[in-house]
Amino acid sequence: MGTEGAIKIPLPRPVLKGRVSVEEAIYSRISRRSFRDRGLTPAQAGQLLWAAGGPGAAGAAGVSRAAPSAGATYPLELYLAAGDLEGPGAGLYRYDFRAHALEKLQQNDLRLALARASLGQEMIVQAPVSVIIVAHYERTTGRYGERGYRYVHMEAGSVSENIYLQAEALGLATVAVGAFDDVAVKKILAVDGAPLLLMPVGIR
């Protein structure tokens, strides 16, 4: 689902062979809440978004995606709230997984507003970017009814873990932030859907 008229910024192709093994990333992963005062490159941001929800190998049901989805209903959208992102710069972006590109939705640096809406969690201002996982429950409840809600939350967990592990492997720092004011965050982002997790990411 694209956003009419939004500027599309292609991201560098994701790298499929990193220097850190998946086992090493699992072993060393922790929530990291402090970041160096440095921005992220489009390659780093693109690699994280790809790991969260990018396209995978061709499977039986077409192209697979990085995280599993109940009935391949894919209820989650990924946004990037950038303050310090080389190239595209500050703003709010939607990740277009088909094109592996960013769509610019807002020009402003939303980090301070997001931190205030998250019980003042400072690390959201300090991190150069935050990945935001937003749920569209109807895509999954449309098929599974009430049970769909739990599936959507399970999926957010998978996506979040992928972001943790990819960040770990890239030498980046991240933490899942679930403590925020739902209404306030939704208003700041001005997007459809329900924000479930904010993941500030930076250099460690």
Ligand X SMILES: Cc1cc2nc3c(=O)[nH]c(=O)nc-3n(C[C@H](O)[C@H](O)[C@H](O)COP(=O)(O)O)c2cc1C
Shortest reach from residue 102's CB to ligand X, in Å = 25
Distance between CA 11 and CA 49 in Å, rounded?
Answer: 10
Please say which residue, 21 or 31, places its beta carbon nearer to ligand X.
31
Shortest reach from residue 95's CB to ligand X, in Å = 20
Please say which residue, 70 or 197, places its beta carbon nearer to ligand X.
197
Shortest reach from residue 45's CB to ligand X, in Å = 21
Shortest reach from residue 61's CB to ligand X, in Å = 28
Cα Rg for the chain, rounded, in angstroms? Answer: 16
Please say which residue, 70 or 124, places its beta carbon nearer to ligand X.
124
The 101-106 sheet, strands edge to edge: 8-10, 101-106, 91-96, 76-82, 129-135, 194-203, 172-174
**Site residues (vs ligand X, CB under 6 A):** 30-31, 33, 121, 175-179
Burial class (CB in 10 A: 0-12, 13-18, 19+), 118: buried
Please say which residue, 102 or 185, places its beta carbon nearer to ligand X.
185
